[in-house]
Structure 1
Amino acid sequence: MDLEFQRVLLKVQESLTGDEVQDLVFLCSDLLSLKDLCTVSSAGQLFSLLEKRNQLSCEDPSLLLELLRIMKQNSLIRNLTSDDYKQTNGTTYSQQISPYRQLLYERSESICEQDLQNIKFLLLKTLSRKKLEKDTPSALTLLSPDQCQNLDSNSVIENKSLNLSVTSQNTEIQQYEMKGDRRGFGLIINNYDFRACTLGNREGTDIDKERLEVVFKWLGFEVLVEQDCNRHQILQVLRNLAARDHTPADCVVCCVLSHGRVEGICGVDGEIVTFRELIETLSPNECPSLCKKPKLFFIQACRGNDNQPAAFPQTCSEDEDMLFSDAAVPRDSIPEMADYLLAMSTVPHYVSYREKGRGTWFIQSLCHSLQLLVPRGIDLLSILTQVNSDVSKKTDKSGLRKQMPQPEFTLTKRVVFPPPKSHRPLP
């Protein structure tokens, strides 16, 4: 047993409050049995359980650092890595805490007292009255293992809590209505062939296009696909969409897969359509039947003529794992109009990536997250937060290439797609 490491654990234990210990227990609920967790009353007991199961040790303290990072104990992390335990320097975080449990923890931070009372009300038939009447300072305390000894932690926390946190927020933030005769049109502009200009063909984009078609049809959209559009054709396709009657529809979706530069999207002729031009085609003046309805844009734009930073080297082998760069968009890209979402594959001035045999990181993560989280009743912005998390963890074989998507929006309500009637798994 490493005494120095035990001293580190003792310092962490002394630095955490009782509520923070309960947060640790909640985050570790997938790693230890419910029976063991019900006996935990201190951080030291939790660390001992993790050490006994070889999930925490002086040779691999990454779980400790991951837990402190999720809890935003940054000063404590700096203390440990700089003063107390040199061996943690340079440790790479291995993701042992599930994304869903992290998401629930982050949501709990913003749950107010009224929300907590709403959650208690919704759990009347799940937990005993005695437990519900206890003074519970947070939603995580309410659903922690010591409060749910007779419940299965996965079914209660991961399946129900997501829906409960969404339901509780309905008291403050309204949802767009999704009860129309049809969900709406889903337009996909897929630009692959750039032989008419100096830009290269976008290998792998058809994989994105096909996945988007399947997922948005599954969500109830009438999908329209336009292939290889120049600047004029992109604008005309959107004008044609604006000319349709959207009165019976709930919303509209537009996905653009193309090369791009900082100022906008490239047509296959190399000419730019600015982001403002792109989305103003569906403004209330141009399309009154979409007024006060969500207009959702998903942009996968390649890098165009921008130079890559030194951290993103160009040289790759010519195989299916080869990465191609897809670029950034400006911060002022969304106009001052309500009910827009512009979900972009990367932050301004940086590249995003496309694999010839697998499609782009952003679109594939978006489709996967929609398929996984829509049936759970999760709103679109929360889904995009999960996409941000997924994409930010991806890298190439060199470990040097990274990407961070960025949603911008002027939505005035929450976008929650009704769960599809068919729950058959998507291909």
Structure 2
Amino acid sequence: MERRKLMKISEALNSSEVAALCFLCRDFVNWKYLEGVEDAKVLFNRLEERDHLNTEFLRELLRTIQRIDLLSLLKTNRQGVEETDGNPIDKLSNYRVMLYNIYNETTKENLQKMKFLLSDKTGRRQMDECKTALDIFVKLEKMNLLSQSNLHRLHSVLIELDQPLALTVQQFKQGTGASLQPVSPPPARLLSGFQHYNSPLLSRSEPPTTHEGGHFSSDEETNNQPSSLSDQTEYYQMNHNPHGLCVIINNEEFLGMELKKRRGTQADLNALYPLFTKFGFLVNVHSNLTAEEIRRELNGVATRDFSEDDALVVCVLSHGENGCVYGTDEKKVSLRELTQPFTSGLAPTLAGKPKLFFIQACQGGGFQTGTLQCPPNPRGLDEDRGNQMEADAGPIRGVTVPSDADFLLGMATVPECKSFRNTNTGSIYIQELCKQLKRSAESPRDDDILSVLTRVNREVSKEEYLYHKQMPEPKYTLTKTLVLKFVD
């Protein structure tokens, strides 16, 4: 588009109108790139970088904020019609336009009442920071308290404040709300991140189909009337409280002669339990299970109705070898046996939802080595600490990786190699995982799980353990970005 026209439009917009445009564009530009934007020129640059700046889309934005007077600047003849090699013509979502209309009709008195009624869920300080209803909506979305499929809280508040606006939300929920344009989000983008060379990312290219109830019922179906790129295409929704189950299997004592007691594993349990509780999961702990008991427990969990869950987490802390973990009876359970009960065919209410498996166990008897000779006293490992290091290995003997979508397998080590555990402070991998997940949850940035695991890889691989290296390995078939934040 002509920069001169964009400059004129930018100069004609006041700060509240720019804020409204930023809110309406949250489906097309990640929120962190819109934070603090007060100049429309900056917004236009953000849209242009992502191939979303075209005449028709800008016209729709200006019509929505009722700046019809600026449309004359966008007049063009047929020879001047713009084309783009990027996404199809973008449309504002019904959901976001509805929220903008509510903002437009909210009086100052009702704004204060809205902040008061919501403060019990968000905290008073969070609401005090909000100057407009748009600020409130943004805050609620960041806290997973508001989305197209999660309008209950907003609707309840509006019933108290403004019946016509509450009716607007009700009509939208029933699908009768509007003459507004339906959503036409850009096509799915593959996640940027790392993937194991044996674990290709499975993506969905089928068009979305409507499904009453708003939850996934099979891998091919998606939410009815997706509200935004971030909700529908890029991000897993984490709207329920609790988010779902976190199952921890903690094997410390072993019944035979070959596998030693896993001293220090209680420290891992003590790190995982409160962390995933704060993430909003119901945490179930099972200690010292045989191989058959592990299978029976996970098969039992798989019969759960996950319709009201957002995700599943399974942590297994045990001895292991290539492609398996050990029960306390020193019998093997393959990684495939851990994940298979939760594939979409066997657990259909988990289809389209992230399933996270974190495995603290050796995957062989080999040792990782660095490219440089280890110094006599390796960095980060004094003599006493060296005496406290053990390996979660079993008798030495390929790896099965889940081929279905939406799985993440966080392995403490690569195949054929040992992982290490401090007999006092816990395993190297689980402790670093909990540290980085906590850091991410407390950060104002929305770091996704793959970014977190990259940091875990980096930090674990820096150190030396019993004069050897350890290299964790994530394997995944996630199809969206997953962000874990603490639940108030």
Q: TM-score range by the shorter chain?
A: 0.5 to 0.7
Following the alignment from structure 1 to structure 2, what is the Cα–Cα distance between the partners of residues 368 and 416?
A: 15
**TM-fit CA distance, 1:195:** 3.2
1:326 correspondence with 2:392: yes
In 1, are the aligned partners of 2:362 and 2:417 still within 8 Å (CA)? no
TM-aligned CA distance change 1:418 to 1:308, over 3 Å: closer
1:408 partner amino acid: K
Following the alignment from structure 2 to structure 1, what is the Cα–Cα distance between the partners of residues 314 and 305?
A: 16
Aligned partner (choices 249, 269, 286) of residue 346 of structure 2: 286
1:402 partner amino acid: K
In 2, are the aligned partners of 1:192 and 1:205 still within 8 Å (CA)? yes
Query: What residue in structure 1 maps to residue 246 of structure 2?
Result: 186
SS in 1 for 2:320: strand
In 2, are the aligned partners of 1:190 and 1:258 still within 8 Å (CA)? yes
Query: What residue in structure 2 maps to residue 213 of structure 1?
Result: 273
TM-score, normalised to structure 2, is 0.50
Following the alignment from structure 1 to structure 2, what is the Cα–Cα distance between the partners of residues 416 and 117?
A: 13
Query: What residue in structure 1 maps to residue 454 of structure 2?
Result: 385
SS in 2 for 1:415: coil
TM-aligned CA distance change 1:275 to 1:123, over 3 Å: same
In 2, are the aligned partners of 1:263 and 1:330 still within 8 Å (CA)? no
Query: What residue in structure 1 maps to residue 21 of structure 2?
Result: none
Q: CA RMSD in A?
A: 3.8
Show structure 2 runs of 5+ residues with no match: 1-27, 50-141, 143-191, 193-227, 375-380
In 1, are the aligned partners of 2:322 and 2:399 still within 8 Å (CA)? no
Following the alignment from structure 2 to structure 1, what is the Cα–Cα distance between the partners of residues 329 and 463?
A: 31
**TM-fit CA distance, 1:172:** 10
1:246 correspondence with 2:292: no
Following the alignment from structure 1 to structure 2, what is the Cα–Cα distance between the partners of residues 378 and 255?
A: 21
**TM-fit CA distance, 1:293:** 1.0
Following the alignment from structure 1 to structure 2, what is the Cα–Cα distance between the partners of residues 292 and 118?
A: 24
Q: Percent identity?
A: 35
Deviation per residue, 1:243-278 (Å, 9 max, x gap): 222111111100000000113111111111111111
Query: What residue in structure 1 maps to residue 290 of structure 2?
Result: 230
In 1, are the aligned partners of 2:457 and 2:472 still within 8 Å (CA)? yes
TM-aligned CA distance change 1:241 to 1:118, over 3 Å: closer
Following the alignment from structure 1 to structure 2, what is the Cα–Cα distance between the partners of residues 331 and 378?
A: 32
SS in 1 for 2:282: strand
Corresponding pairs, count: 277
Aligned partner (choices 356, 361, 368) of residue 296 of structure 1: 356
1:326 partner amino acid: D
Aligned partner (choices 37, 43, 48) of residue 124 of structure 1: 37
Query: What residue in structure 2 maps to residue 264 of structure 1?
Result: 324
1:394 partner amino acid: E
**TM-fit CA distance, 1:291:** 1.4
In 1, are the aligned partners of 2:321 and 2:393 still within 8 Å (CA)? yes
Following the alignment from structure 1 to structure 2, what is the Cα–Cα distance between the partners of residues 221 and 357?
A: 27
Deviation per residue, 1:84-126 (Å, 9 max, x gap): xxxxxxxxxxxxxxxxxxxxxxxxxxxxxxx99987654423x
**TM-fit CA distance, 1:228:** 0.6
1:176 correspondence with 2:236: yes
Following the alignment from structure 2 to structure 1, what is the Cα–Cα distance between the partners of residues 323 and 366?
A: 15
Query: What residue in structure 2 maps to residue 336 of structure 1?
Result: 403
TM-aligned CA distance change 1:330 to 1:371, over 3 Å: farther
Aligned partner (choices 372, 394, 397) of residue 439 of structure 2: 372
Following the alignment from structure 1 to structure 2, what is the Cα–Cα distance between the partners of residues 175 and 287?
A: 21
**TM-fit CA distance, 1:331:** 7.3
TM-score, normalised to structure 1, is 0.57
1:359 correspondence with 2:426: yes
SS in 2 for 1:206: helix
Deviation per residue, 1:282-324 (Å, 9 max, x gap): 12222222111111000000356x35478899xx999555211
TM-aligned CA distance change 1:133 to 1:265, over 3 Å: closer
In 2, are the aligned partners of 1:205 and 1:257 still within 8 Å (CA)? yes
Following the alignment from structure 1 to structure 2, what is the Cα–Cα distance between the partners of residues 335 and 177?
A: 22
TM-aligned CA distance change 1:265 to 1:318, over 3 Å: farther
TM-aligned CA distance change 1:402 to 1:129, over 3 Å: same
Following the alignment from structure 1 to structure 2, what is the Cα–Cα distance between the partners of residues 223 and 172?
A: 28
Show structure 1 runs of 5+ residues with no match: 1-114, 139-162, 422-427
